[in-house]
Structure 1
């Protein structure tokens, strides 16, 4: 089955006209424009100068907003729409509520607080608030829900960012978030595959490890990922996390020293996520500025290898021009084949089409954004 046939299926479910837009857009791009599309950058200032500086190097496919004011977010969304030939994926860490993208956003509660209610309706409300308030300022991609499982209370990443230590609750609450946030044309990104919360390591400082057996993983993390995938999650964020049991399952001859975190592992991205779990959406790396990504090998090798191994989008850079050059060199030298590059770009474009970014749309205004951000229903839920 060709990639163009695949994007007609779940989770993209594109129409023939949407697929044609993807084909036409891909055909009209140079190789460097394609490479730009697989980068998702981090907005730092939200200014025209920032956009101009970026366009000197590449035209990226996506960008992440750190919390701005509503005015800054609305204005930057308008600037991006004007400056970019291809509409942008605009993401944010919408984990606790609309406060993940703007300071005026509603903070409903951390995932652990949501889970402590033992009532899935609060996960539904969390997805609704994140969807409504994110869309109100131009976002179309939620870097949430976190479906890690908090097995180790000493883990420095998971704790209050998870729906707790009960795999069934994590599965149910994660699925509820996915179903509700995507009603507002915000793609959910279930994270951090293959699952954090087992060890005491911090991906920001070192590659971490999920030490479950294949059977244990299937019954816990795997069940949560499968439920969210079945619910239609459009994207998966892959972490700098090893899963030795499944790496060896798909590659029995691999040496311990050759095992890679999921962001560099074809065994985990292709074998486990694509083939076993049947995920057909977009795979995005976690932030590649983390040491967990850069420790296994030189950055020059790791940047293109992440895409060659199965990721469709590369999150953040350490040096914009340098990382772009590493990616271009990887294509030139065949680390990333032309077919693999096109497949990644098609999934980026398919996500945009699934979110209706290829169609005429009304940009948010500050007035319309503040009206949503001041929604009394959201405030009541948060009380």
Structure 2
């Protein structure tokens, strides 16, 4: 169902064997657990054992904390886990996205304003080197939205600007910095935020471009970065009516306004089909109001997986969401084949990052000496150059 030997996984024979053997050994319950990436809320043993050992979650993300504490917690999680976890962070503007002592590199728009694409590489390298020092292996960055509507409350300075080619160049440069630190990127927010004035935390955002213009802008960004090896794509609770109608001319108005996170035309038809993405699809944070505007959460969780998402990001209640997905499987909303496809991609990302080998060697989370990387002199000097250039431009 999934070719793990090609872009973006490029797995070798032994890695393919690990994916296949691991999938074959898993229970249905473990497979269901793998598709969840909850928010990390504690370092205490019992709650972590529940999520990591009983539910067998596939990933976890912590908000910024002290570097020693984050590293220790990440090590505890990976030691507990039967299958190594994707440990994520919002390192879209520097290492401060995971550790409070991390380097604040500046907003993407400030980096782009310097006119030097090398600064985007340095941002990606800094963010991911510092994240990797405490055990992160999955960056929820770079943001590759386009600043088409400056009133948009979410994108704006979080983008590399309004020029499509610049967004591509700076996004690719960030990816190079991540790759050099063995960190998977998550290009976001498909099918593209920044077109309207809506906030998807509060309601469904609408990417209203016609299919041709979308393909020349957002489509060009995603197709290029997918070709460059982006391992994961984060899907927003964003509608793209024109592409839904192009793929399914019989779609109702309600179907055209479904957010991409639960929309099979956009996930399977556009992202997988038209753009040829073979990697892992993650939803954006599902506690956002927009995720449940069209249906109850009990329906939306299985609907997202059935539509083509491979991983559910965050929960209101992990136990409830786990139950919703299990019920969706029992009711035939999600087929066992679709579940296996999702889990295969999750495992393939882990294999591509060498997590099984690192776990076996005890190096999946670096030792305390790696903490010297966080906020180091070189990273802060790079960030200061961006700050100085931004001030000069403003002046």
- Structure 1 length normalisation: TM-score? 0.97
Instruction: Indicate conservation of the 8 Å contact 1:140/1:187, yes or no.
Output: yes
Listed as ranges, the matches of 1:72-91 within 5 Å are: 72-91=69-88
Which residue number in structure 1 is paired with residue 327 of structure 2? 329
Q: Shift in Å at residue 366 of structure 1?
A: 6.0
* Aligned-partner Cα distance in 2 for 1:331–1:108: 44
What whole-Å deviation, never above 9, does each CA across 1:301-358 have from its counterpart, x for those lacking one? 1100100000011111111111110000011111110100000000000000000011
* Aligned-partner Cα distance in 1 for 2:217–2:340: 34
Instruction: Indicate conservation of the 8 Å contact 1:135/1:186, yes or no.
Output: yes
* Aligned-partner Cα distance in 2 for 1:365–1:317: 28
Q: Shift in Å at residue 159 of structure 1?
A: 1.1
Q: Shift in Å at residue 71 of structure 1?
A: 1.1
* Aligned-partner Cα distance in 2 for 1:97–1:29: 36
Which residue number in structure 2 is paired with residue 370 of structure 1? 371
What whole-Å deviation, never above 9, does each CA across 1:217-274 have from its counterpart, x for those lacking one? 1111111111211111000000000011101000101111222111011111111111
Say whether 1:282 aligns with 2:246.
no
Q: Shift in Å at residue 367 of structure 1?
A: 3.0
* Aligned-partner Cα distance in 2 for 1:303–1:63: 17
* Aligned-partner Cα distance in 2 for 1:303–1:367: 38
Instruction: Indicate conservation of the 8 Å contact 1:179/1:232, yes or no.
Output: no
Which residue number in structure 2 is paired with residue 340 of structure 1? 338
Q: Shift in Å at residue 280 of structure 1?
A: 0.6
Listed as ranges, the matches of 1:152-171 within 5 Å are: 152-171=149-168
* Aligned-partner Cα distance in 2 for 1:21–1:30: 16
Q: Shift in Å at residue 375 of structure 1?
A: 2.2
Listed as ranges, the matches of 1:131-170 within 5 Å are: 131-170=128-167
Instruction: Indicate conservation of the 8 Å contact 2:135/2:366, yes or no.
Output: no
Instruction: Show structure 1 runs of 5+ residues with no match.
Output: none
Q: Shift in Å at residue 45 of structure 1?
A: 2.3
Listed as ranges, the matches of 1:235-254 within 5 Å are: 235-254=232-251
Identify the match of residue 313 of structure 1 among 299, 311, 327.
311
Instruction: Indicate conservation of the 8 Å contact 1:239/1:286, yes or no.
Output: yes
Instruction: Indicate conservation of the 8 Å contact 1:62/1:90, yes or no.
Output: yes
What whole-Å deviation, never above 9, does each CA across 1:267-299 have from its counterpart, x for those lacking one? 111111111111111000000110110111011
Say whether 1:265 aligns with 2:263.
yes
Instruction: Indicate conservation of the 8 Å contact 1:57/1:320, yes or no.
Output: no
* Aligned-partner Cα distance in 2 for 1:268–1:258: 11
* Aligned-partner Cα distance in 1 for 2:373–2:134: 9
What whole-Å deviation, never above 9, does each CA across 1:25-54 have from its counterpart, x for those lacking one? 111111010000010111112332330342
Partner secondary structure for residue 180 of structure 2? helix
* Aligned-partner Cα distance in 2 for 1:369–1:322: 38
* Aligned-partner Cα distance in 2 for 1:130–1:56: 29
Larger displacement relative to structure 2 (144-153 or 373-382): 373-382
Give me the CA root mean square deviation: 1.2
- The count of residues paired between Structure 1 and Structure 2 equals 380
Partner secondary structure for residue 200 of structure 1? coil
Listed as ranges, the matches of 1:153-192 within 5 Å are: 153-192=150-189
* Aligned-partner Cα distance in 2 for 1:278–1:52: 37
Instruction: Indicate conservation of the 8 Å contact 2:130/2:375, yes or no.
Output: no
Say whether 1:356 aligns with 2:357.
no
Which residue number in structure 2 is paired with residue 10 of structure 1? 7
Q: Shift in Å at residue 141 of structure 1?
A: 0.3
Partner secondary structure for residue 326 of structure 1? helix
Say whether 1:30 aligns with 2:27.
yes
Partner secondary structure for residue 281 of structure 2? strand
Which residue number in structure 1 is paired with residue 383 of structure 2? 382
* Aligned-partner Cα distance in 2 for 1:139–1:292: 28
Which residue number in structure 1 is paired with residue 205 of structure 2? 208
Instruction: Indicate conservation of the 8 Å contact 2:42/2:48, yes or no.
Output: no
Identify the match of residue 196 of structure 1 among 193, 196, 201.
193
What whole-Å deviation, never above 9, does each CA across 1:192-215 have from its counterpart, x for those lacking one? 000000111111110110000111
Instruction: Show structure 2 runs of 5+ residues with no match.
Output: 385-395
Which residue number in structure 2 is paired with residue 102 of structure 1? 99
Partner secondary structure for residue 356 of structure 2? coil
Instruction: Indicate conservation of the 8 Å contact 2:53/2:82, yes or no.
Output: no
